[in-house]
Amino acid sequence: MMRRALPLALFAAASGSALAGEARAAPVLLISIDGLRPADVQDAEVRGLKVPNLRRFLAEGTYATGVVGVLPTLTYPSHTTLITGVSPAKHGIVGNTTYDPLQINRGGWFWYASDGKARTLWDAARDAGLTTANVHWPVSVGAKNVTWNVPQMWITGHSDDRKLLDALSTPGLTQDLEAAAGVPYADGKAEDLPADVIRAKFGAALIAKHKPGFMTAYLTALDHTQHETGPGSAESHAVLETIDGLVGDLVAAELKAHPDAVIALVSDHGFAPVDTVINLYRPFIDAGLVTVNAEGKITAAEATPWASGGSFAIRLARPDDAALQAKVKAVLDKLAADPAAKFAAVLSAAETVAAGGNPDASFYVNLKLGAVAAPFVSAALPLVLPSPSKGMHGYHPAAPEMRSTFMVMGKGVAKARKLGEIDMRAIAPTLAKIMGGNLPGAEKPALDLAPAK
């Protein structure tokens, strides 16, 4: 299949060069470490972190001192921006979980690539004549232009989820990779370090076996641990040091398969320590905006506080109902005046769209750092309660604590070069250009990674 793709790749490289000057067809490996803060690499020695494979990007490549993310700074919206170059308002993945006012989707996430509304790097790579592959990238179920796909999805966390993933993956792929890696694939819901170890083995095996021209690989354990123990904890540092070795394995496999490859390493958001949960369902129930029956189930919702980590998108059943808008605004204004509610800001619908956030939100509540937005759990819970999590993200991207990571190295990339802060939307068009492809809808231009002349 790769041989059949080569003539197309050469054509794409030639035509891309004519159109974009410096465009070139090169294999690309895109690795994401969920929740990796840029300073954990750039200031690793000061923080006592031993991450030589990540530090290699600083010496041998080009890197951003920080990446300004999207609203909200959550995993699924951010990862979709990372491969489309557009904000959630345009690509449609506006949260991790889907809009579910009556709570009937059992906490379902935006699993399906069909929910995305924007062209992806997988599309750009295939159009440039490259084969493509994926291990565990968010919003990848049913992605049409992924040649070899092991998507991310779970239902219960039961071992049957592995059967589900096998059914959703490219036919025969998981069995082939299990044989090559020597281990069964990880459970779909597993986000701990052992699961990352398995997925990295599968990624390396996929690279060795199929040599995809563009591949995405996603590692989750750092995010999982920072939620449990907080950013900068000893546990988080230990996990990152192990992930560093997994990155080394993936890089080695890619360079063995493609000595001319460009390897990019990204993250989706930063992290902030938290201690408080804010439950907007309490005041919404009290105001009659959410109706709950005797069994504690939601039976009607005039307005839904759609939790997004450190923020809420407030979606109305009838967005054009002026009386309903006024009623919701009055509730939010009262909460904004209450220090216990920990509101940092309430954005209007227009302000939310201007920030690239959920276009269906009539209001958007950004919480103060340290507070977590609660999904619906029980009608009996109060407005404020202690947080079981020690770390969180999902706040407005303006917060410095939400800065994420971008580092890239390989053929044609300048060494030891700082870009300063960049916009997350610039990453996808940059990688598309390297592959000889394009993302014409990207909201930011490609970055210049070439060495100085």
pLDDT of residue 452: 84
pLDDT of residue 159: 87
pLDDT of residue 453: 78
pLDDT of residue 100: 97
d(CA 12, CA 24): 8
Q: Which residue has the tokens 């993310």?
A: 69
User: Cβ(168)–Cβ(181) under 8 Å?
Assistant: no
Q: Distances from the Cα of 67 to the Cαs of 192, 259, 398, 404, 405, in angstroms?
A: 25, 28, 11, 5, 6
Q: What is the pTM of this model?
A: 0.94
> What domains are defined for the chain?
2-272+401-434 (3.40.720.10), 276-388 (3.30.1360)
Residue 3 predicted with pLDDT over 90: no
Q: Return the H-helix or E-strand segment holding 276.
A: strand 276-278
Q: Which residue has the tokens 């992806």?
A: 120
pLDDT bin (cut points 50, 70, 90) of residue 349 is very high
How much of the chain, in percent, has pLDDT values that exceed 90? Answer: 92
- Residue 36: other Cβ atoms inside 10 A: 27
Average pLDDT, rounded, for the chain: 94
User: Could you tell me the end-to-end alpha-carbon distance of the chain, in angstroms, rounded to an integer?
Assistant: 37
Across the range 294-308, mean pLDDT stands at 97
Query: In terms of Cα–Cα distance, which of 393, 437, 359, 427 is closest to 125?
Result: 437
pLDDT bin (cut points 50, 70, 90) of residue 15 is very low
189-208 tens-digit pLDDT: 999 999 999 999 999 999 99
d(CA 138, CA 387): 26
Q: Which residue has the tokens 């919480």?
A: 367
pLDDT of residue 347: 98
d(CA 175, CA 203): 13
Q: Return the H-helix or E-strand segment holding 216.
A: strand 214-219
pLDDT of residue 25: 82
Residue 305 predicted with pLDDT over 90: yes
pLDDT of residue 266: 99
52-94 tens-digit pLDDT: 999 999 999 999 999 999 999 999 999 999 999 999 999 999 9
17-49 tens-digit pLDDT: 333 334 458 999 999 999 999 999 999 999 999
Render the burial of 315-335: b for 16+ CB within 10 Å, e for the rest. Answer: bbeeeeeeebbebbeebbeeb
Q: Which ranges constitute the DSSP H helices of 305-436? A: 322-336, 349-354, 427-434
Across the range 290-317, mean pLDDT stands at 97
pLDDT of residue 12: 37
